[in-house]
Chains A and B, each alone.
Chain A
């Protein structure tokens, strides 16, 4: 809650790292203001109360025609207030609120869970917890992050690896931290069937991979969506097949991007393969547990059961490749199958080349 923007136009300026800006984006996306409801929450929501107060201050400044400087001043004032007044008493301070006639009836929402199940509040907690992992364990390094747009929809695709893939959280974390906009991760239905894990996955930006969902996110809501075209074929492959891209499904991701009229942005990930390599699989156990695959990982051999939740500290390098746009009319029901397959194959070849290039430069699995 470090930064507060006075009006939506400020969004771009304060975007990097501003969690509140993310809130706004989210609210815009869903078409309703869930911010109002937050003040009604219990103790864990206290930080949001502060955010609300500072927001009102900032709004007042903005309303009197003040520029960016005044907004900055108000932010400083808000920080002083935050530093000196304990959060509990802050919510009792009388605060000028907007005329209720303008804002309509109070929003009955009690949480900021959006219509996809993503909660920015939950996401910010997870980001805080995951940040040490991102910075000091995987030591993630990005290349070409500026190719991901600050506005508008884009379909991010990446290569997938690790028995329990470590690349998706790293990509989502990195983009949300650097660009200050949410990323929705499209993944297999399987996640939904797991208690607790499925709910957490949904709250932190996971969406079941369905063409309609992707279209709605990309076209109607102009969001960033992340997919792994290889699917579980990539995460279930053994270490001997590392950095060999699997088949890109049936090219469905290209068709969705064409229909939604958004670019495809490929991301090549190096490091995830070594973070939890699969030595071999036991299909009979997978069948018994109704899992897509049951891996025996190097981590598990070294650490026992803990190995299934512990990654090796491989150095992560991510390279964003040039966005691919398609010269076709968006919004059609069908696209030429050969065209779709050609485009998918071209993107796959480029990602494979990029991976080889990055691996050529890599001196050590652990230090990059």
Chain B
């Protein structure tokens, strides 16, 4: 029997990409996606269930569909996108309900994959140059995003301890850049203004968005338990990110830089969430040898991820808009999925 996979946040970037990737896996029998809104990517055989962001109905769905794998992509790591209260609801309460559903007695779930972020390490001057998975952050927890991620991982850790027969995988991704994803960094680079702190040029790591999906798929497919850092090889200075992307550095004073950039944040030119401040001051590096030891291979280095973004951005600038946007039409999608007139198993 093939795998039966549940994906959270199907309407978000990662949920949609992950569902698309899993649709190509022949041994995945059924894909079920949860989301508050309709998916934004074309999907062929993924079933979509509309649910609220806290998954209060999840318990029933898991029992009814007998899923064996849950891919939890719906952790919000972009604190600009949602208000802090919603961030807490999505990350902490959502994960709490998800794990509760997965951990009920007689549950069919065998594996839980969680997409976390290296934001969990924070950024402080006392940091090691390379964080290993077991290292604790050295600086105080200052931002809501970091606090919520720490809470989520604590929940996941407890869940893994309580359910030793389950495969629990947590992937901590470095800053993502790529052709499509919009993060505070890519937003700034698209506007050609990259905030930095005067006198600091820290080293940062990136991961390309395709590698994110491939890593999630890899640990799901190979059922690899554990916590893993995921980042492209090498590091590059913040100033080089700007120069590869054709953006200009906006040096902010070292004292309270966020206050100085507030006017630009207000008019939407620059995004500068609180967790970015530490990163542009001290940078962050994670040791990725643990995942590499399991045999995962990256397609992009850190600099390659920036280059990938820059190339897509050049195209966007030249042609005006980006790719044509997919519009979800319920009836057409239903037709494609269920009509006997549609010939399945053919490429496309």
Contacts and interface: CB of A to CB of B under 8 A. Distances in A.
B125 A189 contact: yes
A117 B233 contact: no
A195 interface: yes
Interface stretch (A63-71, A94-102, A105-113, A304-312): A105-113
Nearest to A192: B125
B263 interface: no
Interface residues of B, number: 30
Given A192-B282, A210-B128, A198 B240 contact: no
Interface string B200-236: 1101000000000000000000000000000001111
Contacts of B2: none
B203 A111 contact: no
Contacts of B303: 107-109
Interface centre among B198, B199, B285 (most CB of A within 10 A): B199
A207 B203 CA distance: 12
Most chain B CB within a 10 A radius of its CB, from A30, A108, A190, A210: A108
Interface in B114-128: 125-128
Nearest to A116: B129
Interface in A279-307: none
Interface string B32-50: 0000000000000000000
Nearest to B254: A195
B200 A32 contact: no
B306 interface: yes
A115 B132 contact: no
A199 B254 CA distance: 13
Interface string B279-298: 00010010000000000000
Given A108-B307, A189-B126, A212-B132, A196 B199 contact: yes
A324 B19 CA distance: 58
Contacts of B301: 32
A313 interface: no
Nearest to B125: A192
Interface string A194-207: 11111100000001
Contact of B130 (A111, A194, A212): A212
Interface in A79-111: 107-111
Given A195-B200, A212-B130, A32 B233 contact: yes
Given A32-B234, A115-B203, A109 B240 contact: yes
A288 to B, nearest CB: 16
A102 to B, nearest CB: 18
B182 interface: no
Contacts of A30: 234
B197 A195 contact: yes
A124 to B, nearest CB: 17
A213 interface: yes
A196 B200 CA distance: 6
B304 interface: yes
B199 A199 contact: yes
A115 B285 contact: yes
Nearest to A117: B203
A30 B203 CA distance: 14
Contacts of A117: 203, 237
A113 B203 CA distance: 9
A104 to B, nearest CB: 11
A149 to B, nearest CB: 24
B205 to A, nearest CB: 9
A256 to B, nearest CB: 13
B199 A198 contact: yes
Contact of B128 (A32, A198, A212): A212
A111 B240 contact: yes
A229 B190 CA distance: 47
Interface in B281-329: 282, 285, 301, 303-304, 306-307, 310
Contact of B201 (A31, A199, A207): A199
Contacts of B310: 108
A110 B241 CA distance: 9
A135 interface: no
A313 B243 CA distance: 42
Interface string B240-281: 100110000000001000000000000000000000000000
Contacts of B200: 195, 198-199
B125 A115 contact: no
Interface string A21-63: 0000000001110000000000000000000000000000000
Interface of B: 125-130, 132, 197-201, 203, 233-237, 240, 243-244, 254, 282, 285, 301, 303-304, 306-307, 310
Given A109-B303, A213-B129, 9 more contacts: A30-B234, A32-B233, A108-B244, A113-B203, A115-B203, A115-B234, A189-B126, A195-B254, A212-B130
17 contacts: A32-B233, A32-B234, A108-B304, A108-B306, A109-B303, A110-B243, A111-B240, A113-B237, A115-B203, A115-B235, A116-B129, A192-B125, A195-B199, A197-B199, A198-B199, A208-B127, A213-B130
Shortest 6 CB-CB contacts between residues of A and residues of B: A195-B199, A108-B307, A196-B199, A192-B125, A210-B128, A108-B303
